[in-house]
Structures are given as C-alpha cells and as structure tokens.
Chain A
Amino acid sequence: GNSVTQMEGPVTLSEEAFLTINCTYTATGYPSLFWYVQYPGEGLQLLLKATKADDKGSNKGFEATYRKETTSFHLEKGSVQVSDSAVYFCALRSGGYQKVTFGTGTKLQVIP
C-alpha cells in the first residue's frame, strides 16, 4: 500500500534560518504530492503541490520538488519566520478512488 514517511520533529530554528523537512513516499502508479500546514486550533491547509515528476510546487517562500528517482518531496524555505511555526504534513494522493495518505506531521518552532 501507499505510505509517507516524514522526519521526526519537533524542529526548532532561529528566525531567518534555512528549513528542510524531509519526506519520502511509497506508492503505486504516479501519485500527486502535497504539503499541508496546520496552525494551532485550525484544520490543515494546502501549502503546495506537485502532480508529476520534476514539478516544483511553491507558495509563501516554501518549495518542494517531486523527485521520482528518490521518491522524495522535501520541503524547503530559505529564511523562516516566527509566523511559520506550525505542523507540516506531507501527503500523496493516488490509486483507486484517489485515496489520500498523510505522513505523521513535523512540528516546526521558529524562535526570534
């Protein structure tokens, strides 16, 4: 079956530091890949997505590239802000009826 593996958190960074959150996946076929962000007390929100190999999704300074050869979709941001503190989820969508599979989430804390 499909699966998504994320790096363990929490991740604590100083403001303006470089961020990488690793995500690898296992899937049959050609999944679409997503990053979602969850702020305290809210539901998950789509951050970015990529639908085929070598696509780069980007939004709000965050980027992730769909790497089929390494089955990865790592999230990066060049300079994090305190407001980026949240939980980040990697996900894929594939298969019959387009079932969605989420990773376990990575909590990011950015300190001033």
Chain B
Amino acid sequence: DAGVIQSPRHEVTEMGQEVTLRCKPISGHNSLFWYRQTMMRGLELLIYFNNNVPIDDSGMPEDRFSAKMPNASFSTLKIQPSEPRDSAVYFCASSGGLDNSPLHFGNGTRLTVT
C-alpha cells in the first residue's frame, strides 16, 4: 500500500500564475478530500468527492479554485490565477465509504505564492 501520493511536495510560484496540485488516492477508496492548512485558519475542507462525483464544494474559497476527479485514481486541484493569500499546505486524503472508515492523508503540497 503506497498510501496517498501528492505532487509536487513544494511549489513556489509568482502571483497570477496557474498552479495545479495532484493527488493519487489509495486504490479501492471511493471518497477523496482536499484540505488546506494554514496557521491562521487551521485545517479547512475545500471539496470532497464520492465515487468521483463532487459532493460538497462549499469550502472552495472562490472561482479561482477548481477541482476535478476524472477517474478513481487521480484528482487535481487548480488555482488560476494564484494570489499570495493562497500560500498554504494543501492536503489530499482518501477513505473507504463507510462512516467508520478513517481518512488517509498524503504528505501535502506546500504552496508559496510570491
């Protein structure tokens, strides 16, 4: 079990550029979550998918953020255009569909927008 794989681990970009974060969930998991973590706001749920379908995107900050899950083994979170306030650690997590299934987190992508 390779765990949840996120790429890149670190991303530094300039304001206005497009940023794409990638996630490969654990095989067989049917729920996928994107979180953002900052010192000021803590851990925030951005969006989550069930069976590749977005279920709740109410945490997506604004239209600059978009997420896709084209198949069960891949998801992307895109920010276009990026702004300095988007700087944070972005985590992807996956789980089975039962309500007693824990989340398995990746190691995150640390995004810095200058």
Q: Measuring CB to CB, which residues of chain A are less than 8 angstroms from any residue of chain B?
A: 31-32, 34, 36, 41-46, 49, 51, 89, 91, 93-95, 97-100, 102, 104-105
Q: Measuring CB to CB, which residues of chain B are less than 8 angstroms from any residue of chain A?
A: 4, 31, 33, 42-43, 45, 48, 50, 55-56, 91, 93, 95, 97-108
Complex contacts, B106 vs chain A, CB 8 Å? 43
The 9 closest A-B pairs by CB, nearest first: A43-B105, A32-B100, A46-B102, A51-B100, A98-B99, A44-B105, A97-B55, A104-B42, A93-B99
Alpha-carbon distance A36/B35, docked complex (angstroms): 15
Q: Judge whether A94 and B99 touch: CB under 8 Å.
A: yes
Q: Judge whether A105 and B99 touch: CB under 8 Å.
A: no
Complex contacts, B42 vs chain A, CB 8 Å? 104-105
Alpha-carbon distance A98/B51, docked complex (angstroms): 13
Binding site secondary structure of chain A: strand
Binding site secondary structure of chain B: strand
A107 smallest CB distance to B (angstroms) = 11
Q: Judge whether A98 and B43 touch: CB under 8 Å.
A: no
Complex contacts, A46 vs chain B, CB 8 Å? 102-104
Q: Judge whether B43 and A89 touch: CB under 8 Å.
A: yes
Alpha-carbon distance A105/B42, docked complex (angstroms): 8
B100 smallest CB distance to A (angstroms) = 4
Alpha-carbon distance A42/B100, docked complex (angstroms): 23
Instruction: Show 30 A/B contacts (Cβ-Cβ < 8 Å), sorted by A.
Output: A32-B100, A34-B102, A36-B102, A42-B108, A43-B4, A43-B105, A43-B107, A43-B108, A44-B91, A44-B103, A44-B105, A46-B102, A46-B103, A49-B100, A51-B100, A89-B43, A91-B103, A93-B99, A93-B100, A95-B99, A99-B48, A99-B56, A100-B33, A100-B45, A100-B103, A102-B43, A102-B45, A104-B43, A105-B42, A105-B43
